[in-house]
Amino acid sequence: MSTPRNPIERFHVVIPAGGVGSRLWPLSRASAPKFLHDLTGSGQTLLQDTWDRLSPVSGEDRIMVVTGQAHQGAVVEQIEALDLKNLVLELSPKDSTAAIILAAAILAKREPDVIIGSFAADHVIQESEVFQAAVREAIEVAATGKIVTIGIEPTSPSVAFGYIKTGDALSVAGAPNARAVDKFIEKPKMATARKYVESGNYLWNAGMFIAPAQLLLDELAKSEPELHKQLLELADAWDGMYRESVMHRVWPNLKKIAIDYSIAEPAAEAGLVAVIPGKFTWHDVGDFAAIAELQSNGRRGNLAVLGNAKVLADSSSGILVSDTERLIALIGVEDIIVVDTPDALLVTTKEHAQRVKQLVDALKATGHGDLL
């Protein structure tokens, strides 16, 4: 065997680009989910921002995108640099284990020593260089045989995120901030979240995982042997002539399970998980109130505008998101959320932004699935 490669040379990004983002209806739809939209006013979509944030670490030829068949056209159009051998199209949504571990298995087949880093396509990170430094540390730790996550230093006792309880500092060259992970914790209640933040020992779980692909496969083999076997079968066929037929036979039967449950939590119990604390500003832009916050940089009384609407606003604040060219006039509405699309209009307030999900459920129940 040849000399082992440097960890950074082994690195390959995986971007699972799925999830509709129900709380961002009617902008985000099954046909045009969150990651295909510019939600920051950057002039780029969240997927493009994610690509630009990671390619300086991995190189553009080492980023794999896993997405639904329906989004193939949009993804290829938005990411011109995407090598088509790095585009994995799902037949149907099967949750994060199938998406990420199929990518891991395909990449491990091509490069057995590959270290993959999985990052959601629809998060917002403000200080890219701080983020990239954290990823580089994580790669060094992953090369020691760990599953590494990047945990976000909490800025408030949020109940919208899961938490990571950190353990002892690790001693890894090139990763001065690495710590062991004691355990992953589900979204807490507010009182508990406050204690977590005060203690200084907890980080937000942003769902970022960096690990040798083979280690992820080995862990899945222990927790979900059937799913492991199916994903290996798919990966074996992937770069050959039977991909389509094997895909149509195997994919529909895959178990839907989040990678948090199939790999991250059991591995943490086994002492296999490490964390790099992320000292950058991170948002999962889960609802329109979050986008408004992001746009206003925390200042109140502003009206954020996303899109090409002509806007006339008087004594109004909040956020206006437009997918049309219509004139939108606002008078005397505070903390308002207006989302204007060709076939649906939402009017609510920042306070009620989370309730958009219930509304989407109601639309499903009342036979308006065509609008989702």
Minimum CB distance to its own copies smaller for 191 or for 312:
312
Q: What binding mask, one character per residue, do residues 291-330 give for its own copies by CB under 8 A, x or -?
A: -------------------x-x-xx----------xxxxx
Minimum CB distance to its own copies smaller for 54 or for 309:
309
The span of 71-79, 103-111, 122-130, 339-347 binding its own copies (CB under 8 A) equals 339-347
What are the two backbone dihedrals, phi and then psi, of residue 85, each rounded to the nearest 5 degrees?
Answer: -70, -10
What is the sign, positive or negative, of the torsion defined by CA atoms of 123, 129, 134, 140? positive
Tokens at residue 338, please? 């207006």
Under the criterion CB under 8 A, does residue 125 sit at the interface with its own copies? Answer: no
Minimum CB distance to its own copies smaller for 256 or for 355:
355
Q: Whole-angstrom Cα distance, residue 102 to residue 90?
A: 10
Q: Whole-angstrom Cα distance, residue 296 to residue 317?
A: 10
Under the criterion CB under 8 A, does residue 332 sit at the interface with its own copies? Answer: yes
Under the criterion CB under 8 A, does residue 264 sit at the interface with its own copies? Answer: no
β-pair partners for 325: none
Under the criterion CB under 8 A, does residue 31 sit at the interface with its own copies? Answer: no
Tokens at residue 356, please? 């958009």
Q: Whole-angstrom Cα distance, residue 307 to residue 320?
A: 8
Q: How far is the CB of 354 from its own copies (least distance, A)?
A: 10
Minimum CB distance to its own copies smaller for 208 or for 339:
339
Minimum CB distance to its own copies smaller for 171 or for 366:
366
Three-state DSSP class for residue 329: strand
CB 308 within 8 A of CB 340: no
Q: How far is the CB of 357 from its own copies (least distance, A)?
A: 11
Minimum CB distance to its own copies smaller for 180 or for 359:
359
Three-state DSSP class for residue 154: coil
**Alpha carbon distances (Å) from 203 to 170, 172, 277, 328:** 16, 20, 7, 41
Tokens at residue 367, please? 């036979």
Under the criterion CB under 8 A, does residue 157 sit at the interface with its own copies? Answer: no
Under the criterion CB under 8 A, does residue 346 sit at the interface with its own copies? Answer: yes
8-state DSSP, 44: S
Minimum CB distance to its own copies smaller for 159 or for 329:
329
Under the criterion CB under 8 A, does residue 340 sit at the interface with its own copies? Answer: yes
Under the criterion CB under 8 A, does residue 368 sit at the interface with its own copies? Answer: yes
Establish how many alpha carbons lie within 13 A of residue 244's alpha carbon, considering only the half-sphere containing its beta carbon: 2
Under the criterion CB under 8 A, does residue 365 sit at the interface with its own copies? Answer: no
Q: Whole-angstrom Cα distance, residue 255 to residue 97?
A: 9
Under the criterion CB under 8 A, does residue 338 sit at the interface with its own copies? Answer: yes
Name the residues that contact its own copies, by CB under 8 A.
Answer: 26, 310, 312, 314-315, 326-333, 336, 338, 340, 342-349, 351-352, 355-356, 358-359, 362-363, 366, 368, 371
